[in-house]
């Protein structure tokens, strides 16, 4: 595979990925409007904002599901904004979806193995079975590895989708509302799981989440999107105390 030339002008050692003046329009609608920020190597970056703010579009343009209208995206010194999703995935950019994307006719293990095939691939590493077993272990799926996914409940489906993303051997995972639809205890267990993953693996996480308290507990920084623009990007403490952020969430009582 031919690697594109490094873009030395925008390279920064602390920065895993950088968005520079990114725009994405749908007709007259500016879904992302001049968005610039850096994702730091190894951080958990939370992303929040009202419905329609552009959060899912942001995930899509970073992972390649949607092209950008203008601007640039640099990952590890390489321009990636014109690359298709599979090439970005091979470089270490993975994602999960708001609604679990998994194959019901296959077992849990087969779904996760498919992730490994899509990503940097087992052949390059030669330890396919061990890798899949490790991923199943860390996501809490070992005891149901051979079960069909047909009967899996929502949280198990979310674990499978996360495991499939991890199986690609990512450097960064973009997670779109990973806790949507989970109850209080399940949210707690997912916060723990993300903490464990972040500590155990050399991973950067970008998490879109409406449950802003859970997001604040996990993230080193939070980015607030509003009408397609970055309202603020700062520590959870500063973001949650920001008057403009409180206003768009219609008061502190909604910062649940
Ligand atoms: N494929 C698309 N075609 C047209 N409009 C879209 C498309 N995807 C998103 N949008 C619009 O872009 C805006 C941002 O959407 P989205 O990124 O899904 O927001 P969020 O995830 O923050 O709720 C919304 O107004 C939405 O209707
Ligand atoms: Mg969304």
Question: Is 177 part of any domain?
Answer: no
- Residue 50 Cβ inside 6 Å of ligand 1? The answer reads no
Is position 116 within any domain? yes
- Cβ–ligand 1 distance for 51 under 6 Å, the answer yes
Q: Give domain status of residue 134, yes or no.
A: yes
Residue 201: name the closest of 107, 103, 135, 116 by CA. Answer: 135
On whether residue 219 sits in a domain, the answer given is no
Cα–ligand 2 centroid distance for 249 (angstroms): 16
Protein residue closest via CA to atom 24 of ligand 1: 52
Structure confidence by residue, pLDDT tens digits, 122-146:
455 568 889 999 999 999 999 999 9
Identify the pLDDT of residue 99.
Answer: 66
* Residue 136 CB partners (closer than 8 Å, separation 6+): 108, 109, 112, 142, 145, 163
Beta-carbon count within 10 A of 120 CB: 18
Q: What's the confidence (pLDDT) of residue 104?
A: 80
In a domain, 186, yes or no: no
List, for the chain, all residue ranges whose pLDDT scores fall below the cut of 50: 1-5, 7-11, 122, 252-253
Residue 76 lies in a domain: no
**Containing structural domain, residue 110:** 93-169
Tokens, residue 139? 């996501």
User: Is 25 domain-assigned?
Assistant: no
Kindly state the tokens that stand for 98.
């708001």
Q: How far is the CA of 206 from the centre of ligand 1 (A)?
A: 18
**Assigned domain for 148 exists:** yes
Backbone phi and psi for residue 255, each to the nearest 5 degrees, phi listed first:
-85, 50
Query: For ligand 1, is residue 31 a contact (CB within 6 Å)?
Result: yes
Local structure of 157: helix, strand or coil = helix
Q: Which ligand is nearest to the CA of 229?
A: 1
Identify the pLDDT of residue 135: 94
Distance CA 176, CA 219 (A): 15
Let me know: does 120 contact 92? Beta carbons within 8 Å: yes
Pocket test for ligand 1, best of 22, 25, 30, 31 (most atoms within 8 A of CB): 31
Q: How far is CA 207 from the centre of its chain?
A: 5
**How confident is the model at residue 255, as a pLDDT?**
54
Q: Strand 204-208 relative to strand 221-226: parallel, antiparallel, unpaired?
A: unpaired
The number of distinct structural domains making up the chain is: 1
- Ligand approaching nearest to the C-alpha of 176: 2
């Amino acid at each position: 595979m031919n690697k594109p030339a490094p873009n030395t002008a925008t390279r920064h050692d602390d920065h895993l990925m950088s968005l520079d003046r990114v725009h994405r329009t749908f007709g007259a609608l500016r879904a992302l409007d001049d968005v610039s920020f850096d994702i730091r190597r190894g951080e958990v970056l939370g992303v929040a904002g009202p419905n329609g703010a552009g959060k899912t579009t942001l995930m899509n343009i970073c992972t390649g599901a949607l092209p950008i209208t203008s601007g640039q995206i640099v990952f590890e010194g390489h321009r990636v904004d014109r690359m298709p999703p599979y090439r970005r995935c091979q470089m270490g950019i993975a994602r999960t979806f708001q609604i679990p994307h998994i194959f019901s006719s296959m077992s849990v293990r087969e779904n996760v193995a498919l992730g490994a095939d899509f990503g940097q691939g087992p052949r390059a590493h030669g330890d396919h079975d061990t890798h899949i077993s490790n991923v199943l272990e860390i996501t809490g799926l070992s005891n149901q590895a051979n079960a069909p996914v047909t009967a899996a409940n929502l949280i198990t489906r979310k674990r499978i989708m996360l495991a499939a993303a991890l199986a690609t051997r990512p450097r960064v995972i973009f997670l779109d509302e990973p806790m949507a639809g989970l109850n209080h205890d399940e949210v707690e267990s997912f916060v723990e799981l993300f903490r464990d993953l972040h500590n155990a693996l050399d991973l950067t996480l970008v998490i879109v989440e409406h449950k802003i308290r859970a997001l604040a507990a996990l993230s080193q920084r939070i980015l607030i999107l509003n009408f397609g623009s970055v309202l603020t990007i700062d520590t959870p403490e500063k973001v949650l105390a920001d008057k403009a952020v409180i206003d768009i969430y219609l008061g502190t009582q909604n910062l649940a």
